[in-house]
């Protein structure tokens, strides 16, 4: 029996995708992530499944060339790389991987929060560079976290996990949610406020909303100026939620104190970008979910979504469940 053909956009450790053995015939793209390679696209007409990463754009054009496609499985919780509306029109379920990376991303958010608050990279470099000549009572001063206010934009699974960690550090937590949020979220000890109040009162603003048409450029010249001059912006969600040029000005001109970014726009941020020159900006290469456990669980969940789609069963995590009501 011929197994269904699946395009795996980039190779993954075999043990992470062991579940596909005996269920799918894989055509595998190149090791370097960033889109579907031409040799993969030669098979698109026969593909019944796509297993992709957040760096692979699944466009309407691609889906239109795939008459046999029955599932798109994205190995990420975010799915802004997928034209979900187009997939829905074609009746193709799209899977993502929420839940299994929550703790890893929340940990990294706290790491960025603490590192920006205490100026960690500069202090470490100064020690290495011989500037540590004595214990200085006024040297390398940073922000306190206990008693400070953390403002969470988007209180989903990751936002909540960050809130719990911040509460354990003695921080006050406030959050904002989009106005038409279907299920107003209740989180003990955290107060829901308007986005404007959050910007005006938070000492740390941490972004945990998805990238959508309404969150693209959410942090811009106008909104960055509403933050406290002493505040820190943290982005472990998606780069384009923050306008890069506006953030550069905000840091250079002192509208805010510091920024911690695990995601940027563009991604990767070119090494010559001026944001790297600012000691008040910490930039990481999109590693929020990069623990051995989280990445393996993401791949395993993406396999389960893929297999369910190929078998015509509902995906474990489907971002467009309306395909099942047609």
List residues near ligand GLV by CB under 6 A. Answer: 54, 76-78, 101, 288-289
Find the helix or strand (DSSP H, E) in which 197 lies.
Answer: helix 195-201
For the sheet containing 71-74, what is the strand order?
A: 25-28, 5-8, 49-52, 71-74, 94-95
Kindly give the pairing relationship between strand 25-28 and strand 49-52: unpaired
Identify the active-site residue in 19, 25, 216, 267. Answer: 267
Question: Which one is catalytic: 286, 297, 300, 304?
Answer: 286
User: Does residue 10 carry a catalytic annotation?
Assistant: no
Between 98 and 119, whose beta carbon lies closer to ligand GLV? Answer: 98
In whole angstroms, the minimum distance from the beta carbon of 269 to ligand GLV comes to 15
Task: For ligand GLV, give the closer residue by CB, 33 or 78.
Answer: 78
Least gap, CB of 222 to ligand GLV (angstroms):
26
Element (H, E) at 51: strand 49-52
Element (H, E) at 201: helix 195-201
**Residue 54 Cβ vs ligand GLV, minimum distance, rounded to whole Å:** 5
CA angle (14 as vertex; 9, 19 as ends), nearest 5: 90
Give the nearest distance from C-beta 252 to ligand GLV in angstroms. Answer: 27
Three-class HEC string of 13-47: CHHHHHHHCCCCEEEECCCCCCCCCHHHHCCHHHC
Query: For residue 108, is the peptide bond before it cis, meaning its omega torsion is within 30 degrees of 0?
Result: no
Residue pointed to by tokens 């040029």: 245
Residue 319 beta carbon to ligand GLV: minimum distance, rounded to whole angstroms: 12
Closest CB to ligand GLV among residues 78, 121? 78
179 part of the active site: no
Candidate list 165, 208, 238, 295, residue with the active-site label: 238
Cβ nearer to ligand GLV, comparing 7 with 77: 77
Query: 210 near 154, Cβ under 8 Å?
Result: yes
Helix (H, G, I), strand (E, B) or coil at 253: coil
- Closest approach of ligand GLV to the CB of residue 41, in Å: 24
Please report which helix (H) or strand (E) contains residue 71, including its range.
Answer: strand 71-74
Q: Which is nearer to ligand GLV, 148 or 301 (CB)?
A: 301
Give the Å distances, CA to CA, from 162 to 167, 225, 232: 9, 24, 15
Q: Which two tokens stand for residue 298?
A: 């993401």
Give the residue with the Cβ less far from ligand GLV, 142 or 210: 210
Catalytic residue annotation? 238, 267, 286
């Amino acid at each position: 029996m011929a197994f269904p053909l699946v395009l795996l956009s980039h190779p993954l450790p075999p043990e992470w995708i062991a579940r596909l053995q005996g269920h799918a015939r894989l055509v595998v793209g190149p090791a370097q992530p960033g889109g579907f390679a031409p040799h993969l696209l030669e098979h698109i007409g026969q593909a019944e499944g796509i297993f992709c990463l957040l760096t692979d754009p699944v466009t309407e054009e691609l889906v239109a060339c795939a008459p046999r496609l029955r599932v798109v499985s994205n190995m990420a919780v975010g799915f802004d790389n997928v034209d979900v509306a187009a997939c829905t029109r074609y009746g193709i379920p799209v899977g993502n991987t929420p839940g299994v990376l929550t703790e890893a991303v929340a940990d990294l958010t706290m790491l960025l929060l603490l590192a920006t608050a205490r100026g960690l990279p500069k202090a470490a470099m100064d020690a290495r560079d011989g500037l540590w000549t004595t214990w200085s009572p006024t040297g390398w001063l940073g922000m306190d976290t206990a008693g400070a206010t953390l403002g969470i934009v988007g209180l989903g699974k990751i936002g909540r996990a960050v809130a719990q960690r911040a509460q354990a550090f003695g921080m006050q937590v406030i959050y904002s949610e989009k106005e038409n949020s279907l299920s107003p979220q209740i989180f003990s000890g955290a107060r829901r406020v308007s986005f404007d109040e959050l910007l005006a009162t938070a000492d740390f603003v941490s972004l945990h909303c998805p990238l959508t048409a309404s969150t693209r450029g959410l942090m811009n010249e106008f909104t960055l100026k509403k933050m406290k001059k002493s505040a820190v912006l943290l982005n472990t969600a998606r780069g384009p939620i923050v306008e890069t040029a506006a953030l550069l000005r905000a840091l250079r001109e002192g509208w805010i104190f510091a920024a911690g970014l695990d995601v940027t726009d563009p991604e990767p941020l070119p090494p010559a970008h001026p944001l790297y020159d600012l000691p008040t900006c910490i930039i990481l290469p999109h590693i929020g979910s990069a623990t051995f456990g989280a990445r393996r669980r993401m791949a395993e969940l993406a396999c389960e979504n893929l297999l369910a789609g190929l078998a015509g069963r509902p995906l474990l995590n489907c971002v467009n469940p309306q395909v099942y009501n047609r």
